[in-house]
Chains A and B, each alone.
Chain A
Amino acid sequence: DAGVIQSPRHEVTEMGQEVTLRCKPISGHNSLFWYRQTMMRGLELLIYFNNNVPIDDSGMPEDRFSAKMPNASFSTLKIQPSEPRDSAVYFCASSFGQRNQPQHFGDGTRLSIL
């Protein structure tokens, strides 16, 4: 079975540019999570969706960040405009239904803002 698929794997861009990260969850999973990993703050949740509906976006840093899930098989995380402090590894994870089911992570997108 295909796991969670994220693209791109690496992204290098100049500050001020728009960045779009993409995620395809595991088929059948109904919850999707976006996490950010930095040396300083570790792994932190940005936002999560259940049945395509955003449930908790309290971790989204500021209005420059937005996330969408137009259907059960696709989600995007957008940063506009990007800043150097947004440089991090961004993970997408998905899980199914029951509370004890683990979250399966994608390979992450390493984002570097110059």
Chain B
Amino acid sequence: AQTVTQSQPEMSVQEAETVTLSCTYDTSESDYYLFWYKQPPSRQMILVIRQEAYKQQNATENRFSVNFQKAAKSFSLKISDSQLGDAAMYFCAYRSGPTGANSKLTFGKGITLSVRP
């Protein structure tokens, strides 16, 4: 079974600074997908960014980018120019990629990010 580990329960960043959230995972599969979701106090689950394991290029979405290290099974999220609205809980998630029906997301425990004005 796959596992996702987010070892840092909390992090804090100064507004306009850069912060990196860590995530590691364990799998024996070679084909899979990784996601970062954001959950603000409103409790919505909002997709931030996704990465296909077969792609070597790191995904980027505006101020959000990932550092995907497949051999190390590491998938960190970098937030540049942090804004107050980035304060939320962030979840790393894994999904199997082999052929077949859509499969479940396995989530890490999450990390609470606070942004200092």
Contact = CB atoms under 8 A, between A and B. Distances in A.
Interface of A: 30-31, 33, 35, 42-45, 48, 50, 55-56, 59, 89, 91, 93, 95, 97, 99-105, 107-108, 110
Interface in B41-79: 42-47, 50, 52
A100 B101 contact: no
Q: B interface, how many residues as a size bin?
A: 20 to 34
Interface in B15-63: 33, 35, 37, 42-47, 50, 52
A100 B107 contact: no
Interface of B: 33, 35, 37, 42-47, 50, 52, 91, 95, 97, 101-110
A56 B104 contact: yes
Given A50-B101, A99-B97, A105-B45, A43 B107 contact: yes
A93 B108 CA distance: 17
8 contacts: A30-B102, A42-B109, A97-B102, A100-B50, A102-B35, A102-B50, A105-B46, A108-B45
A103 B33 contact: no
A48 B47 CA distance: 19
Contact of B101 (A55, A89, A101, A107): A55
